[in-house]
Amino acid sequence: MKCEEIAELLPDYLQGRLALDQASLVEEHVRGCVPCGEEAALWQKLALLPEEQPGPAVRSRFKAMLESYEEGRWEKASLSQERKKGPALWGLGNLLQSPAAGVVWACIFLVCGFFIGRHSDQASTSTTELTAMHEELTNMRQSVALSMLKQQSASQRLEGVSWSTRMTGPDPKVLDALLHTLRYDNSVDVRLASLDALSRYGSRPEVRRGLIEALPGQQSPLVQVALIDLLVDLHDPNAVQQFKRFQQDPKVDPTVRKRADWGIQQLS
Amino acid sequence: MTNSMSDEELMSQVRNGIGEMLGVLFERYHVPLFNFYLRLTGDRPMSEDLVQEVFFRILKYRHSYRTDTGFRAWMYQIARNVRFDHLRKRRPETSWEPSMSPAVEPADTAQQSQESALLHQALLHLGEDKREVLILSRFQDLKYDEIAQLLGCEVGTVKTRVHRALQDLRQIFQLLEGGKSLPRKSSEGTDRWPNPESLQ
């Protein structure tokens, strides 16, 4: 048989899907033909490539996602019960911000998209669907970030911080959770990571306010210096007052006092 | 009990709202999916992210799963879409993750035989469309007709591409074995993701 004829059979031969008589024809050719033989050998050699294992974060993120999915359903159920008990408890603002509402909005968009699409061109339908899909995914990411920030292990909380940065515009709940982490997490690494994540949203006044409020409670010189640097980068003059407190407090690490001094000069 | 259930049965349960069944599917497929992305891109942190995204979408779009569809083909369809979307929206300034993640290269490179290391390199130098079809048929255990369905092309096209992929791989492998250095293909972004219609 010629190479061209073998070429048609070779892929099936390699996956072991040829009948015996055809397989033996290919085998015979492969033994006598160097290029075809090498190709068949390469297919076998590919088995040498080891199967890699993903890092443990993949599993913990998956678990967090599943938990938030289960919690989401629970929230929906409790939401309807709460509303039966007393609608006043549920302000419109809360309702609009809840993840469940996100899904409802997504559905409304989808339905609207459907009707608009029937009367206009098809492109607008797909744009609406894409928006709804994007919104749903954003909601899920927020749930995962929030869920992971509450985990026991520091590495999982770090992952939670990392997840929060994957959103183009995190909702206020995620920003609150990050600010809370910055103030109260007992791991310096997690606090630094949350500071790094928050630096992306430094243009928001509520974030800058949160950063300044986080300054007095910080014990670690590393976090104190990073906070001073960020607030200087953000040119927030409201930080000066707190910098002065650092500067005058003898209990504060000398490096931090020096940094605060530098920060005051930069912002004055 | 759940271990004896087929993928399709498990997915039907997920579809009916029993989210925990997704855990069994995760155990079955997160490593193959991770290796699918890793072999395709050579980028470990990104591969981990994409695996996560696949399971997100399986859960979010569970209602679109049709019980008469093979689960694996459906899952790999999602996996391709996830990567396609990732390539489309990726912006260099948003790549914050690597600093928090382990190194990109496989951890056991030092222990790998030279041949296997060369093979890994050769695979990353293959054209993306050929690399994908080779990975799907060799490692992901998909039949050619399943791959054809996935890529939206004829079975014959898939087989031809597998054969051409092997031909190219052989040449690249020989060049690398002979000590010739090839410019390493960028793991992402430089190749445009092939349009299924252009595969014919």
Q: Examine the pLDDT at A147 and tell me if it is beyond 80.
A: no
pLDDT tens digits for A154-185? 777 777 777 777 666 667 888 888 888 898 88
Cβ atoms A161, A195 nearer than 8 A: no
Angle, alpha carbons B185-B191-B194 (nearest 5°): 140
Please list, in sequence order, all residues whose beta carbon lies within 8 angstroms of the beta carbon of residue B182, skipping any fewer than 6 positions away: B121, B125, B172, B175, B176
Map B10-53 to HEC letters.
HHHHHHCCCCCHHHHHHHHHHHHHHHHHHHHHCCHHHHHHHHHH
Residue of A239, A152, A164, A237 whose CA lies nearest to A195 = A164
pLDDT of res. B83: 92
B interface mutation test: which of A13, A58, A60 has the most B CBs within 10 A?
Answer: A58
Query: Cβ–Cβ of B137/A158 closer than 8 Å?
Result: no
Cβ atoms A212, A203 nearer than 8 A: no
Give the whole-angstrom CA distance, residue A129 versus residue A131. Answer: 5
pLDDT of res. B25: 95
Q: What is the pTM of this model?
A: 0.57
A80 vs B189, residue with greater confidence: A80
Q: Examine the pLDDT at A212 and tell me if it is beyond 70.
A: yes
What is the maximum alpha-carbon separation in chain A?
91
Residues 97-126 of B with CB under 8 A from A: 97, 100-102, 106, 108, 112-113, 115-116, 119-120, 123
CA distance A11 to chain B (A): 6
Give the whole-angstrom CA distance, residue B187 versus residue B45. Answer: 12
Q: How many Cβ atoms sit within 10 Å of the Cβ of residue A44?
A: 10
Work out the pLDDT band at B30, boundaries 50, 70, 90: very high
ipTM of the modeled complex: 0.76
Cβ atoms B114, A48 nearer than 8 A: no
Q: Examine the pLDDT at B95 and tell me if it is beyond 60.
A: no
Residues of B in contact with A66 (CB under 8 A): 19-20, 22-23, 59
pLDDT tens digits for B136-192? 999 988 899 999 988 989 999 999 999 999 999 999 998 888 876 665 554 443 333
Residue of A144, A216, A151, A225 whose CA lies nearest to A188 = A225
Please list, in sequence order, all residues whose beta carbon lies within 8 angstroms of the beta carbon of residue B123, skipping any fewer than 6 positions away: A46, A49, B39, B131, B134, B135, B169
Work out the pLDDT band at B2, boundaries 50, 70, 90: low
Residues of A in contact with B130 (CB under 8 A): none
pLDDT of res. A99: 54
pLDDT of res. A100: 54
Which residue among A10, A11, A62 sits closest to B52, beta carbon to beta carbon?
A62
Residues of B in contact with A136 (CB under 8 A): 60
B21-41 and B44-60 helices cross at what angle (nearest 10)?
140
Cβ atoms A18, A30 nearer than 8 A: no
